[in-house]
Copies of this chain bind each other. A is one copy, B any other.
């Protein structure tokens, strides 16, 4: 296990993925911009590197040698992001975003609505690069595994027809988070924001732990931490054992009088996000409040348990990605201790990039026939 490098190593831009609700979201209202997640380590892809990184320069025109392009998409609760990069340089992408999330119902993620949002954004990016035909496209989406049947049925033909793209994969956002963090190397990635999921692979198959949502799991994620903090605040309000006066004071600052807290939480459609909004208060109290510190120790234990459940038995790398890990030492210190104890053979590695970067990494692998991450009918569907 590599020594803990502190919170900075895990800081990265917020993505729109469902597990990532804690990060501050920077919106870019118009036009493409340089994708802001530089790779901290070159992904270990198998295709031949076809060009040099060129810092902030515009993308190479499509008619130049080596101008083979891939598209990546990240779809989640806070909107849709699309990125275009040279296949040889997924980290050197331009990207654009829409704050409109793709419509999702019990019937699934709406493929027509995704195309309606995605196609103009993709065409705008392609136009900026001289209208190349993209070699590969990867869509990562929150809910892809369970709500992606419509996407799997309709997107391959529609994207081939509309963009001429021949190679395609549809990935769960946990898979794009994995690829963004560790590329195609074996190991485990914990993606945490409002929720918490761990995904691991030995490159033979995927293992998943948690990510079951705020009522069935997501143990140690932002909603879990915030909920535990608010419950401790209400304990103090009632005079029950185990309450925290510090958390009660914070809860009243954020939500108003404690007696009216139910009315502030239950009517909201985004209850998990409302709970997660209190997680930073728990972290702020932890240095001086034993109840808050204990909540974060429990969260760290849960997160490490999920990582341990999915990490290959012979070790591999473990990376943490998502807004939760911006919380700093009150969470990361106990988490690094738990990871060292529960995963003695694993190497803790900074995440290279975010899920949008991961979509590009997978697309670049498809472009070069170098996909090593395991295909899976729900998690990583390659038609």
Q: Which residue of B lies closest to A307 (CB)?
A: B240
The reply to whether A266 and B215 contact each other, CB–CB distance below 8 Å, is yes
Contact segment of A25-33, A36-44, A46-54, A206-214: A206-214
New A-B contacts (9) at CB < 8 Å, excluding given A209-B240, A215-B275, A240-B308: A106-B263, A210-B234, A212-B234, A212-B262, A215-B266, A216-B234, A217-B234, A238-B306, A240-B309
The reply to whether A261 and B231 contact each other, CB–CB distance below 8 Å, is no
Q: Which residue of B lies closest to A105 (CB)?
A: B267
Check if A100 is an interface residue, CB within 8 A of chain B.
no
Check if A161 is an interface residue, CB within 8 A of chain B.
no
Docked complex Cα distance between A216 and B268 (Å): 14
Which residues A227-280 have CB closer than 8 A to chain B? 227, 230-231, 234-235, 238-242, 259-263, 265-267, 271, 275
Which residues of the other chain, B, contact A146 by a CB distance below 8 angstroms?
259-260, 262-263
The reply to whether B265 and A209 contact each other, CB–CB distance below 8 Å, is no
Which residues of the other chain, B, contact A235 by a CB distance below 8 angstroms?
217, 305
Q: Which residue of B lies closest to A265 (CB)?
A: B215
Check if A219 is an interface residue, CB within 8 A of chain B.
yes
Docked complex Cα distance between A213 and B234 (Å): 11
The reply to whether A216 and B230 contact each other, CB–CB distance below 8 Å, is yes
Docked complex Cα distance between A33 and B155 (Å): 61
Which residues of the other chain, B, contact A275 by a CB distance below 8 angstroms?
215
The reply to whether A305 and B241 contact each other, CB–CB distance below 8 Å, is yes
The reply to whether B106 and A238 contact each other, CB–CB distance below 8 Å, is no
The reply to whether A215 and B305 contact each other, CB–CB distance below 8 Å, is no
Which residues of the other chain, B, contact A309 by a CB distance below 8 angstroms?
238-241
From known contacts A209-B240, A305-B241, A309-B239, infer whether A231 and B216 are also in contact, taking CB-CB under 8 Å.
yes
CB of A327, distance to nearest CB on chain B (Å):
21
Number of interface residues of A (CB under 8 A): 38
Which residues of the other chain, B, contact A227 by a CB distance below 8 angstroms?
215-216
Q: Which residue of B lies closest to A301 (CB)?
A: B241
Which residues A304-359 have CB closer than 8 A to chain B? 305-306, 308-310
Docked complex Cα distance between A271 and B213 (Å): 13
Docked complex Cα distance between A308 and B241 (Å): 9
Q: Ordered nearest first, which 4 A-B pairs have the shortest CB separation?
A: A209-B238, A240-B309, A239-B309, A240-B305
The reply to whether B217 and A231 contact each other, CB–CB distance below 8 Å, is yes
Q: Which of B213, B241, B263 contacts A266 (CB 8 A)?
A: B213
Interface centre among A240, A259, A305 (most CB of B within 10 A): A240
Q: Which residue of B lies closest to A209 (CB)?
A: B238
The reply to whether A212 and B306 contact each other, CB–CB distance below 8 Å, is no
CB of A330, distance to nearest CB on chain B (Å):
22
Which residues of the other chain, B, contact A263 by a CB distance below 8 angstroms?
106, 146
The 28 listed contacts between A and B (C-beta, < 8 Å) are: A106-B263, A146-B259, A146-B260, A146-B262, A146-B263, A207-B239, A209-B239, A210-B234, A210-B238, A212-B234, A212-B262, A215-B227, A215-B230, A215-B265, A215-B275, A216-B227, A216-B231, A216-B234, A216-B262, A217-B235, A235-B305, A238-B309, A238-B310, A239-B309, A240-B306, A240-B308, A240-B309, A241-B309
Q: Which residue of B lies closest to A230 (CB)?
A: B216
The reply to whether B240 and A210 contact each other, CB–CB distance below 8 Å, is yes
CB of A274, distance to nearest CB on chain B (Å):
9
